[in-house]
A and B are shown apart, each in its own frame.
Chain A
Amino acid sequence: MKTYTETLYDSYGQEFAVDKVYFENKTDHQHLIIFENAKFGRVMALDGIIQTTEADEFIYHEMLSHVPLLTHGNVKRVLIIGGGDGGILRETCKHASVEHITQVEIDDQVVEMCKTYLPNHSAGAYNDPRVNIVINDGARFVRECTEKFDVIISDSTDPIGPGDVLFTSDFYADCKNCLADGGILVTQNGVAFMQLDEVTTTAKRLKPYFADQTFYCAAVPTYIGGVMTFAWASDNKAYRSTTVETIKQRFNAANITCRYYNPAIHIASFALPQYIENALAADVSE
């Protein structure tokens, strides 16, 4: 039997049966593979780390897009950093109120390959007339950008490899400059149980630039080791007092169908496990 073993951690990991390899490519010291697994459908892995699977991607993509969009309540312009598989774009395009989406992806081959081999991720969203695709380094884009956005979503790889500039203090400062008044920045921030200091480091780097900073959570099966955290940063502290009724109204008005996201999950996802609260509190008191 052919198998694929994730090598994210030395002492713990997950293994997939490989039914068929659709695509395998090594470019500039990156190894990328897309294969079929009976439980997770099409699985994409980069440099030994699972990036996305057809079966569980909805959890990640719905939570990283609908939570900031529905909290804001009046999003016209969205900036997506990374996200070459098109999943965030697909979910963002579901919002009829959104007028413009810029997506900055460093590697145009990723976009083309995902359109071909993971077509259900973007589900045609790349053809949406509101979408502007920019092939550029996300960090450079926000550094040089003079436009403003209501929501910025950073859908990056883990902080080893080309994605690591998307976890720096400079990047967060540049995102702040690209946000309109009341804007929200959200970023994927790893699995806290396995990498607790990603949470404290991100908190430390974001807090100087935003009046309000926290995390919210969702468990994604193939991001192993417990709940994944999403970093949240905004100057509007009132967002986090938004009631479930308000979210419900907006969700119903948007007329979006989801498989993981719902207004109750939205509110509950900001409740952090005590080990994360403790780590954040300890880091502040240091």
Chain B
Amino acid sequence: MNRVDSALYDLTCLDDLARQSTWPHRIDPRAKAVTTLVYVVVIASLPPRAVVELIPFASYPLLLMLAGQVPFRILARPLLFTLLLAGAIGIANPFLDRTSVHVAGTLWIAGGWLSLFSILLRAVLGVAGALALIATTGMEQLSHGLARLGVPRGLVTQLLFLYRYVFLLGANSQALVRARDLRSNGKSLQLSAYGSLVGHLLLRTLDRAERIHEAMCCRGFRGDIPSGTDRRLGWPDMAFITVWSFLFVVFRQGHWLHPIVTSVTGIAR
């Protein structure tokens, strides 16, 4: 599976998952967007060497994914790239930060290893949070939710258009790449051919934009895409924000975890 195929596959999977009707799917997109934002900010606010304190935060994406019937395999590819990037920058930490840090009992570890684990764990939690949000909400619903949260309409309309046409142009791109691969005898794409290949895709795109504009004008387009719903935040939505935000603050303190870690390491000894 090449990059175009895998990206289209991931997009289609997420779009299908977002069409389910479990309780996380029924929570208002604004409530999930705000809660996820609180989640990433609280995680980022933890000290650089926090590892144990990060673990309870896994409960948020875990619960959303389990209750929303989202398979964990969708995390695999994004996690791989994010871990590679974060690991490439964080790998220097163990060599540069050799301060001994007391973990529990007689267990001491170099501070750099703790900060490296912390970076990797934050990367996993960040990816899981973002994918849990989109897999239980859908890009279209989330965009309308963002508009109601005050995000400029221009950007929201752009998001909706982009998401709508990325499937179409992705399929075009897939066809172009496959046709070239079948005729290239294993040779990589050269710059001269690249300009022509992608240029053709762009010219088709421009023609398509013109046709779409004419079709939209025929249907009364005035520069804005209406959401079609005027839903108010209900008590389940408010409870979702409040309970999770409260839990994130409790997790953030993390002091209640230390006796558990100490007893676990004590039993291990």
A-B interaction: no
- The residues of A with any CB-CB pair to B shorter than 8 Å are none
